Amino acid sequence: MSEEHRAFLRDLPLTLTDEDVLFVHASAVAPERWHYVEEERAAARSLDAAVQAWGSRYVFGGHVHRQTLYYEGTAGRLIAFTPQPGIAVPVPAHRRWIATVGSVGQPRDGDTRAMYAFFDRDHARLTFHRVAYDHLAAAEAIRRSALPARYAQRLLEGR
């Protein structure tokens, strides 16, 4: 990458808000520290931080390279939900939600497809998606670069 490209990436904001929605790469708890949101306790901390700092009801992040949706149950405890690709999940605003939407590459769940999610605010639905891409060519490009070989292996195995 050129220095211009590195500077662009370095200067991107760590968080972005849109009304009651927070977008963050990792956890909303000190976003610059890149904490993982991999289980209910970490999700609860991130969601609490998002509510306190930004008044967020919905939090979307990544960093763990998996797709998970957590929601606040009736007792106030977060519950994990594993979404199915292409199936819209109702996410009504009377609850608080935090989702790890996945990654475009380097998956960690055994599935080599790229991941993303679509939030339909008007209908309060969140749909997780998987899409195939030429991960073999991407792995080969990594092998030819100066990047560590394990990055290529992750693309091949999805782990």
Which pLDDT value is given to residue 5?
95
pLDDT at 159 over 90: no
- The mean pLDDT value for 93-110 works out to 91
Sorted by sequence, the CB contacts under 8 Å of residue 52 that are 6+ apart come out as none
Q: How confident is the model at residue 103 (pLDDT cuts 50, 70, 90)?
A: confident
Cβ burial 134-150 (10 Å sphere, 16+ → b, else e): ebeebbeebeeeeeeee
pLDDT at 41 over 90: yes
| Check whether domain 12-157 has CATH 3.40.50.10860, yes or no | no
- The mean pLDDT value for 134-144 works out to 95
Q: In a 3-state reduction of DSSP, which class is residue 59? A: strand
Which pLDDT value is given to residue 32?
95
pLDDT at 40 over 90: yes
Which pLDDT value is given to residue 76?
80
Q: Domain coordinates of the chain in residue numbers?
A: 12-157
Q: How confident is the model at residue 150 (pLDDT cuts 50, 70, 90)?
A: very high
Q: How confident is the model at residue 60 (pLDDT cuts 50, 70, 90)?
A: very high
Q: Whole-angstrom Cα distance, residue 16 to residue 81?
A: 24
Q: Whole-angstrom Cα distance, residue 27 to residue 98?
A: 10
